[in-house]
Amino acid sequence: MNPGSNSIDLTGKAVSSGIGIGPVTIINTKSTTVRPDKIDPDEVKTHLQKLRDSRNLLLSEYEILRDESHLQSAKDILEAQIQTLKDPEVKKRVQYKIESERLSVGYAIFSTLNEYIQLLESSGVQWANDRAVDIVAIRDEWIDVVSENRREFSMSKGDVIFAEEIPPALMVKISRIKVAAIVMEKGGDTSHAVILSQSLGIPCVINTHWNRYQVKEGMLVIVDGLDGHVIINPDDQQLTKYKKRREQDLSRVKESLKWAKKEHLTKCGKPYFLRANVEFLEELPKIATHGAKGIGLLRTETVLFETTEFDVKEQVEFYSNVLKTTEQESVTIRLFDAGGDKLINDKNSEANPFLGWRGVRMLLDEPQLLKKQLEALYRVSEDYKGRLKILVPMVSRLEEIRALKKVAKEVRAELKAKNVKFDPSIPIGIMVEVPSVVMMANKIAEYVDFFSIGTNDLTQYTLAVDRGNEKISALFDSYHPAIWRMIKMTKEAADNHNIPISVCGEMASKPEAAACLMGMGINDLSMNTSAIPNVKAVLCSHTMKELIELSDRVLEEDELKGIHNLFSKWKIKD
Amino acid sequence: MVRKKVVVKNESGLHARPASVLVKVASGFESEFTIKMYGYHVNGKSILGVMTLAAEFGSEMELILEGSDEEKALDTIVELFESKFKEEN
């Protein structure tokens, strides 16, 4: 295309808009050196845990790679690597070296695999010699993963991160630096890294494949998070063009931020509430700048993972921080919702985690965890009366609500016995994300204080589409007529029993969908803070009559295509 | 406990791919699986153990299985050796 320049043009799937320009930083390619350091007896447990975690992490990455690979040879190599990770003898020996020889996990892996490598190399058989190379590769990669906690990635503000995939824990680290953009080889639309980059407004392109010999650290790169272009070594013309677009984007964001200051009222004066979905303290400042009314969904998985054994004091500190920052507004705190796509350090990996042991199912099985979290929430409530709400995830049966309320009652009794003051009337509501709850909504509404619809999971469970599966990602569409009807059913049930209802899924962050929800009478929406100004702009500039007209027409449609047509026409009109 | 001697019939030996098939199939059984060859004992469910045998064409080895499904496991694994791990035409 452009023989005179040595720019490389890659394309991927755009998942978080904006233009990012900066130097390339490649993550996860350097191998770490390990030394035969002895560890203290009290470190053994941590090292064994690291061994399990690193093994599980690599296994899941390799299994995905294997399943996605079309080349049989690649599949075979990956299968062999997977078997190496699963090798019971390797596991036994590494564990022995940690437990009895007190070697660090990194060195234990290194020396165990080296024994095999030497045997293969000295076998005198060519194929065995060749395979030794693969074991070296996995050894290095495994050690890299194990050392990740200690190793600081050298990335700085303004860098463009290139990675195969970014595990949630690393993404958290990245979120603390203002990187210019993220380019990933893998990842799904709703993977942790993608959700976080949207929330932080970092341009992000996924499913991008690059040649590791061509793309080097420090090369200048342009990332277009709107159409998925990644240009390495751009020429001056391209640079000028994209810099200009970046300016325009920024001024558009600034423009839409003006809406953030406006009252939460439709054009005809009907009030609504746009709240923030929040997971990290780093996101809190955006609540004010983007005009959110408190927090509609506070995720607690990351913070609980960071505490030592879900320590109540550490939790109280986090919740107080959040409540302090949000002034007088309400904060809905979702109970620990690990499982599914979340990083869970559990030895039993499930074949189908999304249909597995997660949310309230797990909480009721782990009363210590649940009680600690409830205790922390009740303890915080005294200073912030009337502002907290407890949201229970992944409910699928009425019995779970009863059981959970019983535990809450026990926690309250224990606190009372200890003379701890708290707000006894914190509302307890549930996530509506499993179709069984929608079907039972009219009954369930008698037992809960509010509903919050999680549209991502509701879509996945209703349409039978795994949202992490790239092959069928096109089938994952929250605008499906069935979803709109389910939302309506839930809304009617909430109205019958006079309980509040909100939507906290990704759907609420799309201006046209938010308009439709508002038309359906749901005026409490929670979303990534970066989406709030745009949604607000649409809601502020329309009357209820227009919004109701839109939702009526959407609810009449029987096919997805019709709904998409309606929305695109509606957007143009706007 | 059941045991049986087998011979590697694959021309290129029990290299990475057949070793991988062997381990995968063996891991599906509950029984303990040991391979004995020139005085070495390796865990038949360990890919690296099996590969380090570097068993070539014509190598003789003894399969030892012990557990609730030992009979069925032995039959299945012997069949794999007989069929050259289903890799050569």
CATH number for the domain spanning A117: value is 1.10.274.10
A183-218, pLDDT tens digit by residue? 988 766 656 577 778 777 899 999 888 877 788 889
Asked, for residue A458, whether it belongs to a domain, the answer is yes
Of A83, A125, A135, the CB nearest to B56: A125
Taking an 8 Å Cβ-Cβ cutoff, which residues of chain A contact chain B?
76, 79-80, 83-84, 86-90, 113, 116, 119-120, 123-125, 127-128, 131, 134-135
Q: Residue A145's closest CA among A24, A25, A29, A308?
A: A29
> Are A222 and A94 in the same domain?
no
A25 pLDDT more than 50: yes
Q: Chain B partners of A90 at a C-beta cutoff of 8 Å?
A: 46, 48
| Contact check, Cβ <8 Å, A127/B13 | yes
Burial of A362 by CB count in 10 Å (0-12 exposed, 13-18 middle, 19+ buried)? buried
Is residue B13 within 8 angstroms of chain A, CB to CB? yes
More confident residue, A320 or A349: A320
Domain that holds residue B61: 2-86
Query: b or e along A560-570 (b: 16 or more beta carbons within 10 Å of the residue's beta carbon)?
Result: eeebeebbeeb
Residue in B closest to A85 by C-alpha: B47
Question: DSSP assignment, residue A434?
Answer: S
More confident residue, A213 or A347: A213
Asked, for residue A307, whether it belongs to a domain, the answer is yes
- Please state the domain count of chain A: 3
A296-323, pLDDT tens digit by residue? 999 998 778 777 778 899 899 999 999 9
> Are A198 and A308 in the same domain?
no
Q: What is the CATH number of the domain that holds B28?
A: 3.30.1340.10
Inter-chain Cβ pairs, chain A and chain B, closer than 8 A: 57
Paired sense of beta strands A229-232 and A220-224, if any? antiparallel
A1 pLDDT more than 50: no
A36 pLDDT more than 80: yes
pLDDT at residue A181, as a whole number? 95
Q: What is the CATH number of the domain that holds A230?
A: 3.50.30.10
Best mutation target, B21, B27, B48, B57, to test chain A (most A CBs within 10 A): B48
> Are A347 and A487 in the same domain?
yes
Q: Chain B partners of A89 at a C-beta cutoff of 8 Å?
A: 42-43, 46, 48-49
> Are A450 and A549 in the same domain?
yes
Asked, for residue A46, whether it belongs to a domain, the answer is yes
> Are A324 and A458 in the same domain?
yes
pLDDT at residue A29, as a whole number? 45
Catalytic (active-site) positions of B: 15
Domain that holds residue A500: 261-573
Q: Chain B partners of A114 at a C-beta cutoff of 8 Å?
A: none
- Please state the domain count of chain B: 1
Residue in A closest to B20 by C-alpha: A80
More confident residue, A366 or A449: A449
Measured in angstroms, the CA of A94 and the nearest CA of chain B are apart by 14
Burial of A17 by CB count in 10 Å (0-12 exposed, 13-18 middle, 19+ buried)? middle
Q: Chain A partners of B51 at a C-beta cutoff of 8 Å?
A: 116, 120, 128, 131
Best mutation target, A122, A127, A135, A139, to test chain B (most B CBs within 10 A): A127
pLDDT at residue B31, as a whole number? 95
Asked, for residue A32, whether it belongs to a domain, the answer is no
> Are A267 and A365 in the same domain?
yes
> Could you tell me the maximum CA-CA distance found in chain A, to the nearest angstrom?
84
Paired sense of beta strands A220-224 and A19-26, if any? antiparallel
Is residue B41 within 8 angstroms of chain A, CB to CB? no
Instruction: Return the residue matching tokens 């060195």.
Output: A107
Three state DSSP letters for A233-252: CCCHHHHHHHHHHHHHHHHH
pLDDT at residue B89, as a whole number? 34
Measured in angstroms, the CA of A99 and the nearest CA of chain B are apart by 21
> Are A365 and A424 in the same domain?
yes
| Contact check, Cβ <8 Å, A87/B46 | yes
Q: What is the share, in percent, of chain A residues with pLDDT greater than 90?
A: 53
Structural contact between residues A39 and A102, judged by C-beta atoms closer than 8 angstroms: yes
Measured distance CA(A376)–CA(A318) in Å, rounded: 10
pLDDT at residue A150, as a whole number? 40
> Are A231 and A318 in the same domain?
no
| Tokens at A23, concatenated | 């130097």
Asked, for residue A466, whether it belongs to a domain, the answer is yes
Measured in angstroms, the CA of B4 and the nearest CA of chain A are apart by 23
> Are A277 and A181 in the same domain?
no
A514-524, pLDDT tens digit by residue? 999 999 999 99
pLDDT at residue A489, as a whole number? 97
Of B24, B27, B52, the CB nearest to A120: B52
Structural contact between residues A217 and A206, judged by C-beta atoms closer than 8 angstroms: no
Measured distance CA(A199)–CA(B73) in Å, rounded: 52
> Are A383 and A467 in the same domain?
yes
Q: What is the share, in percent, of chain A residues with pLDDT greater than 70?
A: 89
> Are A435 and A301 in the same domain?
yes
pLDDT at residue A341, as a whole number? 45
Measured distance CA(A130)–CA(B60) in Å, rounded: 23
A182 pLDDT more than 90: yes
Q: What is the ipTM of this complex?
A: 0.91
Asked, for residue A503, whether it belongs to a domain, the answer is yes
Question: DSSP assignment, residue A263?
Answer: -
Of B13, B46, B51, the CB nearest to A88: B46
Measured distance CA(A350)–CA(A354) in Å, rounded: 9
> Are A270 and A240 in the same domain?
no
HSE, side-chain direction, 13 A CA sphere, residue A178: 3
